[in-house]
Amino acid sequence: MEVVNRLAESIDFIEQNLDKDLRHEDVAKVACCSKFHFQRMFYMLTGGTLADYIRKRRLTVAAQELASADAKVIDVALKYGYNTPESFSKAFSKLHGMSPSQAREKGRTLKAFPRLSFQIQIKGAEDMNYKIAQKESFHIMGKAIQTTVNMEQNKVEIPVFWDELNRNGFTESLKPFAGPLGYLGVCMDFNEQADTFTYVIGVEKTTEDLPEGCIVKEIPASTWAVFDAVGPVNQAVQATWERIFSEWFAATGYEHADGPELETYPVDGNIMAEDHVTQIWIPIVKK
Protein backbone atom coordinates (compact mmCIF):
# COMPACT_ATOMS: atom_id res chain seq x y z
CA MET A 1 0.00 0.00 0.00
CA GLU A 2 2.92 2.35 0.66
CA VAL A 3 3.92 2.11 -3.02
CA VAL A 4 0.44 3.21 -4.07
CA ASN A 5 0.55 6.15 -1.66
CA ARG A 6 3.91 7.28 -3.03
CA LEU A 7 2.62 7.09 -6.58
CA ALA A 8 -0.39 9.18 -5.60
CA GLU A 9 1.94 11.74 -4.02
CA SER A 10 4.00 11.91 -7.22
CA ILE A 11 0.83 12.66 -9.22
CA ASP A 12 -0.08 15.40 -6.72
CA PHE A 13 3.41 16.83 -7.18
CA ILE A 14 2.97 16.88 -10.97
CA GLU A 15 -0.37 18.67 -10.66
CA GLN A 16 1.10 21.30 -8.36
CA ASN A 17 3.99 22.00 -10.75
CA LEU A 18 2.50 21.83 -14.24
CA ASP A 19 3.41 25.49 -14.78
CA LYS A 20 6.97 25.06 -13.50
CA ASP A 21 10.18 23.37 -14.63
CA LEU A 22 9.05 19.82 -13.89
CA ARG A 23 12.00 17.45 -13.92
CA HIS A 24 11.44 13.71 -14.02
CA GLU A 25 14.02 13.10 -11.32
CA ASP A 26 12.08 15.38 -8.95
CA VAL A 27 8.86 13.47 -9.60
CA ALA A 28 10.70 10.19 -8.98
CA LYS A 29 12.17 11.54 -5.75
CA VAL A 30 8.66 12.09 -4.38
CA ALA A 31 7.98 8.40 -5.03
CA CYS A 32 11.29 7.49 -3.31
CA CYS A 33 12.85 5.76 -6.30
CA SER A 34 15.29 6.49 -9.11
CA LYS A 35 14.20 8.33 -12.22
CA PHE A 36 14.90 5.31 -14.41
CA HIS A 37 12.85 2.88 -12.35
CA PHE A 38 10.05 5.38 -11.78
CA GLN A 39 9.68 5.92 -15.52
CA ARG A 40 9.60 2.16 -16.11
CA MET A 41 7.10 1.62 -13.31
CA PHE A 42 4.93 4.47 -14.60
CA TYR A 43 4.85 2.94 -18.06
CA MET A 44 4.09 -0.55 -16.75
CA LEU A 45 1.16 0.78 -14.71
CA THR A 46 -0.32 3.24 -17.20
CA GLY A 47 0.75 2.08 -20.66
CA GLY A 48 2.10 5.57 -21.38
CA THR A 49 5.27 7.52 -20.69
CA LEU A 50 5.71 10.05 -17.92
CA ALA A 51 6.67 12.73 -20.43
CA ASP A 52 3.51 12.13 -22.46
CA TYR A 53 1.33 12.26 -19.35
CA ILE A 54 2.81 15.59 -18.25
CA ARG A 55 2.45 17.00 -21.77
CA LYS A 56 -1.23 16.01 -22.01
CA ARG A 57 -2.03 17.34 -18.54
CA ARG A 58 -0.38 20.67 -19.35
CA LEU A 59 -2.30 20.98 -22.62
CA THR A 60 -5.55 20.07 -20.86
CA VAL A 61 -5.09 22.78 -18.23
CA ALA A 62 -3.90 25.24 -20.89
CA ALA A 63 -7.08 24.66 -22.88
CA GLN A 64 -9.21 25.32 -19.81
CA GLU A 65 -7.43 28.61 -19.23
CA LEU A 66 -7.84 29.72 -22.83
CA ALA A 67 -11.54 28.86 -22.82
CA SER A 68 -12.37 30.57 -19.55
CA ALA A 69 -10.08 33.59 -19.41
CA ASP A 70 -8.65 36.39 -21.52
CA ALA A 71 -5.10 35.10 -21.31
CA LYS A 72 -2.91 35.60 -24.36
CA VAL A 73 -1.84 32.51 -26.26
CA ILE A 74 1.85 33.42 -25.92
CA ASP A 75 1.48 33.79 -22.14
CA VAL A 76 -0.20 30.41 -21.79
CA ALA A 77 2.39 28.80 -24.07
CA LEU A 78 5.28 30.11 -21.96
CA LYS A 79 3.52 29.21 -18.71
CA TYR A 80 3.30 25.56 -19.70
CA GLY A 81 6.81 25.12 -21.03
CA TYR A 82 6.62 26.05 -24.73
CA ASN A 83 9.23 28.50 -25.98
CA THR A 84 7.26 29.71 -28.99
CA PRO A 85 3.58 30.10 -29.92
CA GLU A 86 4.28 27.87 -32.94
CA SER A 87 5.48 24.89 -30.89
CA PHE A 88 2.57 25.35 -28.48
CA SER A 89 0.04 25.58 -31.32
CA LYS A 90 1.39 22.43 -32.96
CA ALA A 91 1.17 20.38 -29.75
CA PHE A 92 -2.19 21.89 -28.83
CA SER A 93 -3.72 21.14 -32.23
CA LYS A 94 -2.46 17.57 -32.14
CA LEU A 95 -4.27 16.89 -28.86
CA HIS A 96 -7.39 19.04 -29.22
CA GLY A 97 -7.89 19.07 -32.98
CA MET A 98 -7.97 22.86 -33.13
CA SER A 99 -5.69 25.83 -32.67
CA PRO A 100 -5.31 27.65 -29.33
CA SER A 101 -7.19 30.63 -30.78
CA GLN A 102 -10.10 28.43 -31.84
CA ALA A 103 -10.27 26.98 -28.33
CA ARG A 104 -11.33 30.41 -27.09
CA GLU A 105 -14.47 30.38 -29.24
CA LYS A 106 -17.66 29.57 -27.36
CA GLY A 107 -19.15 26.17 -27.96
CA ARG A 108 -15.90 24.48 -28.87
CA THR A 109 -15.46 20.92 -27.60
CA LEU A 110 -12.10 20.41 -25.94
CA LYS A 111 -10.45 17.16 -24.93
CA ALA A 112 -9.69 16.64 -21.26
CA PHE A 113 -6.93 14.24 -20.33
CA PRO A 114 -7.73 13.42 -16.68
CA ARG A 115 -5.22 13.22 -13.88
CA LEU A 116 -4.26 9.72 -12.83
CA SER A 117 -5.17 7.99 -9.61
CA PHE A 118 -3.68 4.74 -8.36
CA GLN A 119 -5.25 1.95 -6.39
CA ILE A 120 -4.62 -1.74 -5.84
CA GLN A 121 -6.88 -3.85 -8.03
CA ILE A 122 -7.79 -7.21 -6.55
CA LYS A 123 -8.03 -9.39 -9.62
CA GLY A 124 -8.21 -12.79 -7.98
CA ALA A 125 -8.15 -14.71 -11.23
CA GLU A 126 -4.59 -15.93 -10.98
CA ASP A 127 -2.04 -16.27 -8.20
CA MET A 128 1.33 -14.65 -8.68
CA ASN A 129 3.96 -17.11 -7.48
CA TYR A 130 7.49 -16.01 -6.68
CA LYS A 131 10.45 -16.98 -4.56
CA ILE A 132 13.02 -14.95 -2.66
CA ALA A 133 16.62 -15.89 -3.42
CA GLN A 134 19.94 -14.80 -1.95
CA LYS A 135 22.87 -14.83 -4.34
CA GLU A 136 26.46 -13.74 -3.79
CA SER A 137 28.15 -11.49 -6.31
CA PHE A 138 29.05 -13.13 -9.59
CA HIS A 139 30.35 -12.19 -13.01
CA ILE A 140 28.74 -12.48 -16.41
CA MET A 141 30.39 -12.56 -19.82
CA GLY A 142 28.79 -11.60 -23.09
CA LYS A 143 28.20 -8.70 -25.45
CA ALA A 144 26.54 -5.41 -24.62
CA ILE A 145 24.80 -2.43 -26.13
CA GLN A 146 23.82 0.89 -24.63
CA THR A 147 20.17 1.76 -25.10
CA THR A 148 17.65 4.25 -23.75
CA VAL A 149 14.12 4.34 -22.41
CA ASN A 150 13.50 7.55 -24.38
CA MET A 151 10.80 6.95 -26.98
CA GLU A 152 10.98 3.31 -25.83
CA GLN A 153 14.02 2.69 -28.01
CA ASN A 154 15.03 -0.17 -25.73
CA LYS A 155 11.95 -2.15 -26.80
CA VAL A 156 13.18 -1.98 -30.40
CA GLU A 157 16.94 -2.23 -29.95
CA ILE A 158 17.05 -5.17 -27.50
CA PRO A 159 15.10 -7.63 -29.72
CA VAL A 160 17.24 -6.57 -32.68
CA PHE A 161 20.36 -7.22 -30.59
CA TRP A 162 19.15 -10.74 -29.71
CA ASP A 163 18.38 -11.45 -33.37
CA GLU A 164 21.84 -10.28 -34.40
CA LEU A 165 23.68 -12.45 -31.84
CA ASN A 166 21.50 -15.47 -32.64
CA ARG A 167 22.11 -15.10 -36.37
CA ASN A 168 25.88 -14.65 -36.15
CA GLY A 169 26.29 -17.64 -33.83
CA PHE A 170 27.45 -15.76 -30.75
CA THR A 171 24.75 -17.10 -28.42
CA GLU A 172 25.48 -20.63 -29.64
CA SER A 173 29.18 -20.11 -28.85
CA LEU A 174 28.21 -19.30 -25.23
CA LYS A 175 26.19 -22.47 -24.79
CA PRO A 176 29.10 -24.67 -23.54
CA PHE A 177 29.83 -22.10 -20.80
CA ALA A 178 26.24 -21.56 -19.62
CA GLY A 179 25.61 -22.21 -15.92
CA PRO A 180 22.36 -23.13 -14.15
CA LEU A 181 20.73 -19.82 -15.06
CA GLY A 182 21.21 -20.44 -18.79
CA TYR A 183 21.32 -17.47 -21.12
CA LEU A 184 21.04 -14.05 -19.47
CA GLY A 185 19.58 -10.75 -20.57
CA VAL A 186 20.78 -8.13 -18.07
CA CYS A 187 19.77 -4.49 -17.64
CA MET A 188 22.46 -2.62 -15.67
CA ASP A 189 24.63 0.50 -15.36
CA PHE A 190 21.66 2.87 -15.36
CA ASN A 191 22.58 6.46 -16.25
CA GLU A 192 19.99 8.68 -14.57
CA GLN A 193 21.02 11.84 -16.38
CA ALA A 194 20.99 10.43 -19.90
CA ASP A 195 18.16 7.89 -19.35
CA THR A 196 20.40 5.16 -20.74
CA PHE A 197 21.44 1.73 -19.53
CA THR A 198 23.63 -1.17 -20.62
CA TYR A 199 22.00 -4.36 -21.84
CA VAL A 200 24.13 -7.50 -21.78
CA ILE A 201 23.40 -10.80 -23.49
CA GLY A 202 25.56 -13.51 -21.96
CA VAL A 203 26.02 -16.23 -19.35
CA GLU A 204 27.61 -16.57 -15.94
CA LYS A 205 31.40 -16.41 -16.22
CA THR A 206 32.80 -19.90 -15.55
CA THR A 207 36.10 -19.72 -17.42
CA GLU A 208 39.12 -17.47 -17.81
CA ASP A 209 39.17 -18.15 -21.56
CA LEU A 210 36.60 -15.72 -22.87
CA PRO A 211 34.91 -16.32 -26.21
CA GLU A 212 35.93 -13.72 -28.78
CA GLY A 213 34.34 -10.33 -28.32
CA CYS A 214 33.15 -10.94 -24.75
CA ILE A 215 33.12 -8.35 -22.01
CA VAL A 216 32.87 -9.11 -18.30
CA LYS A 217 30.48 -7.42 -15.87
CA GLU A 218 29.97 -7.93 -12.14
CA ILE A 219 26.53 -8.51 -10.65
CA PRO A 220 26.58 -7.50 -6.96
CA ALA A 221 25.30 -9.69 -4.15
CA SER A 222 21.57 -9.14 -3.73
CA THR A 223 18.30 -10.37 -2.43
CA TRP A 224 16.19 -11.27 -5.46
CA ALA A 225 12.52 -11.76 -6.16
CA VAL A 226 12.31 -14.46 -8.83
CA PHE A 227 9.25 -14.89 -11.06
CA ASP A 228 8.42 -17.51 -13.69
CA ALA A 229 7.02 -16.11 -16.94
CA VAL A 230 5.39 -19.14 -18.57
CA GLY A 231 4.56 -19.12 -22.26
CA PRO A 232 5.89 -17.61 -25.51
CA VAL A 233 8.58 -15.08 -24.59
CA ASN A 234 7.09 -12.02 -26.29
CA GLN A 235 3.76 -12.23 -24.48
CA ALA A 236 4.66 -13.95 -21.20
CA VAL A 237 7.61 -11.78 -20.20
CA GLN A 238 5.86 -8.46 -20.84
CA ALA A 239 2.71 -9.62 -19.04
CA THR A 240 4.74 -10.75 -16.03
CA TRP A 241 6.65 -7.47 -15.82
CA GLU A 242 3.35 -5.59 -15.86
CA ARG A 243 1.92 -7.70 -13.04
CA ILE A 244 5.11 -7.27 -10.98
CA PHE A 245 4.75 -3.49 -11.05
CA SER A 246 0.97 -3.23 -10.94
CA GLU A 247 0.28 -5.95 -8.36
CA TRP A 248 3.29 -7.50 -6.68
CA PHE A 249 5.21 -4.46 -5.44
CA ALA A 250 2.03 -2.82 -4.17
CA ALA A 251 0.89 -5.97 -2.36
CA THR A 252 4.14 -7.13 -0.71
CA GLY A 253 5.93 -4.09 0.70
CA TYR A 254 9.14 -4.86 -1.20
CA GLU A 255 10.87 -2.16 -3.23
CA HIS A 256 13.26 -2.22 -6.13
CA ALA A 257 16.87 -2.11 -4.95
CA ASP A 258 18.03 -0.20 -8.05
CA GLY A 259 20.49 -2.92 -9.07
CA PRO A 260 20.78 -4.96 -12.28
CA GLU A 261 17.71 -6.85 -13.49
CA LEU A 262 18.02 -10.31 -15.01
CA GLU A 263 15.97 -12.35 -17.42
CA THR A 264 17.13 -15.97 -17.69
CA TYR A 265 16.41 -18.31 -20.58
CA PRO A 266 17.03 -22.08 -20.89
CA VAL A 267 19.81 -22.83 -23.40
CA ASP A 268 17.58 -25.43 -25.06
CA GLY A 269 13.93 -25.28 -25.90
CA ASN A 270 11.46 -23.37 -28.00
CA ILE A 271 11.01 -19.80 -26.74
CA MET A 272 7.60 -19.70 -28.45
CA ALA A 273 6.29 -22.84 -26.69
CA GLU A 274 3.33 -22.56 -24.33
CA ASP A 275 5.33 -24.22 -21.53
CA HIS A 276 8.54 -22.20 -22.03
CA VAL A 277 9.75 -20.65 -18.76
CA THR A 278 11.62 -17.36 -18.61
CA GLN A 279 12.70 -16.27 -15.15
CA ILE A 280 12.72 -12.62 -14.12
CA TRP A 281 15.12 -11.70 -11.29
CA ILE A 282 14.58 -8.34 -9.58
CA PRO A 283 16.85 -7.01 -6.80
CA ILE A 284 14.70 -6.01 -3.84
CA VAL A 285 14.75 -4.48 -0.38
CA LYS A 286 12.08 -4.79 2.30
CA LYS A 287 10.58 -1.52 3.53
Asked whether residue 244 is domain-assigned, the answer is yes
Domain at 236, CATH number: 3.20.80.10
Q: One digit per residue, pLDDT tens: the chain, 287 residues?
A: 577 788 889 999 999 999 999 999 999 999 888 888 888 888 888 888 899 999 999 999 999 999 887 889 999 999 999 999 999 999 999 999 999 999 988 778 888 899 987 765 545 446 678 999 999 999 999 999 999 887 778 889 999 999 999 999 999 999 999 999 999 999 999 987 778 999 999 999 988 888 888 999 999 999 999 999 999 998 899 899 988 988 888 788 788 998 999 999 999 888 999 999 999 999 999 87
Q: How far apart are CA 62 and CA 18, in angstroms?
A: 10
- In Å, how far from its chain's centre is CA 143? 22
Name the pTM for this structure.
0.80
In degrees and rounded to multiples of 5, residue 102 shows phi and psi of -65, -30
| The total number of structural domains that make up the chain | 2
In degrees and rounded to multiples of 5, residue 153 shows phi and psi of -60, -30
The candidate with the shortest Cα–Cα distance to 175, out of 268, 65, 241, is 268
Within this chain, do residues 159 and 281 fall inside the same structural domain, yes or no? yes
Asked whether residue 86 is domain-assigned, the answer is yes
Within this chain, do residues 15 and 146 fall inside the same structural domain, yes or no? no
Asked whether residue 96 is domain-assigned, the answer is yes
Q: How far apart are CA 174 and CA 183, in angstroms?
A: 8
Within this chain, do residues 164 and 84 fall inside the same structural domain, yes or no? no
Range of the domain at 251: 130-286
Asked whether residue 123 is domain-assigned, the answer is no
For CA atoms 163, 159, 202, 243, give the dihedral sign. Answer: negative
Q: How far apart are CA 101 and CA 89, in angstroms?
A: 9
Strands (E), the chain: 130-135, 138-148, 183-191, 196-204, 215-219, 222-230, 254-256, 261-265, 277-286
